[in-house]
Amino acid sequence: MDLENYTNVNIFKKVYEKREVSSIHNVVEQPHHLLKDNTQHAKGGFNPYVNNQGTTVAIAGKDFVLVAADTRISQGFNILSRDYSRTTKLTDQCVITSGGMVADIETLHKLLIAKVKTYQRQFKKTPTVESLAQLLGNTLYGRRFMPYYAFNLLCGIDQNGQGSVYGYDAIGSWDKLTYGVQGSGSELGAPILDNQFVGHNYLVKTLPDDVSVVEDTGKDIINSIAERDIYTGDQVEIVIVDKNGIRVKREPIRRD
């Protein structure tokens, strides 16, 4: 592995040594990072991040889990693609769906596929959703100091056959949910979900059991978000995971 840009726990030491070597000016750079106001780096310079937006919704059911996502990717006011799939199959019982920066999403999804394969070769079994949830958490935290610009939902069928959704922030804090929404329309989608399914304040959480109802609701939610969010639209991609595997459908929605 190329260790050039990696560090071990003693992160400070490495950074400091590197600075000393590469300093062009013959000035001793003082490592008073705690005292020095380093704001000049805030402006200008290379920015490795861009937000390509897009919305994704996931809802867990009794024996299935449903993902509804839009397929638009944007840069500023420009639309880059109208049929981008933001959901990736990891195992037969598990998919990951993300909003945010497409390059990072792609990288992360590919990395996870590779990790799943490694796991299968090493342990001669397919990782469970719970394992993948922890794996994704650690993978994201591994980039704590240069995070993936991706907001993820991990959806799958757990070992009891129940649907489950795991929600993440960009640096790997995660929790098990019954439904989740990520991406540009998350603020718009969350209240609808709270209203249609058991909200945060409901303590007894019974999962919905009818796929078709949930599917319609999922489509409606993305459609409603597309009404008010400029970054959401074009198509709804529905991914249903149940004990028979994964099904994908697409339906066109507003393209303006």
Q: Site residues (CB under 8 A) for other proteins?
A: 1, 3, 5-12, 15-16, 18-19, 22, 30-34, 38-43, 45-49, 51, 101, 137-138, 140-147, 149, 151, 169-175, 187, 190, 200-201, 203
Residues 6+ apart with CB under 8 A from 237: 67, 68, 69, 70, 71, 85, 86, 87, 248, 249, 250
Q: How far is the CB of 86 from other proteins (least distance, A)?
A: 16
Would you tell me the crossing angle of helices 129-141 and 102-123 to the nearest 10 degrees? Answer: 130
* CB 58 within 8 Å of CB 180: yes
Nearer to other proteins, 11 or 248 (CB): 11
Q: How far is the CB of 93 from other proteins (least distance, A)?
A: 25
Measured in degrees and rounded to the nearest 5, phi and psi for residue 169 equal: -100, 180
Residues 6+ apart with CB under 8 A from 140: 108, 147, 148, 152, 168, 170, 171, 172
Alpha carbons within 13 angstroms on the beta-carbon side of residue 184 total 25
Nearer to other proteins, 78 or 201 (CB): 201
Q: How far is the CB of 197 from other proteins (least distance, A)?
A: 13
Nearer to other proteins, 141 or 249 (CB): 141
Q: How far is the CB of 96 from other proteins (least distance, A)?
A: 17
Nearer to other proteins, 20 or 251 (CB): 20
Alpha carbons within 13 angstroms on the beta-carbon side of residue 135 total 19
Q: How far is the CB of 195 from other proteins (least distance, A)?
A: 14
Nearer to other proteins, 22 or 26 (CB): 22
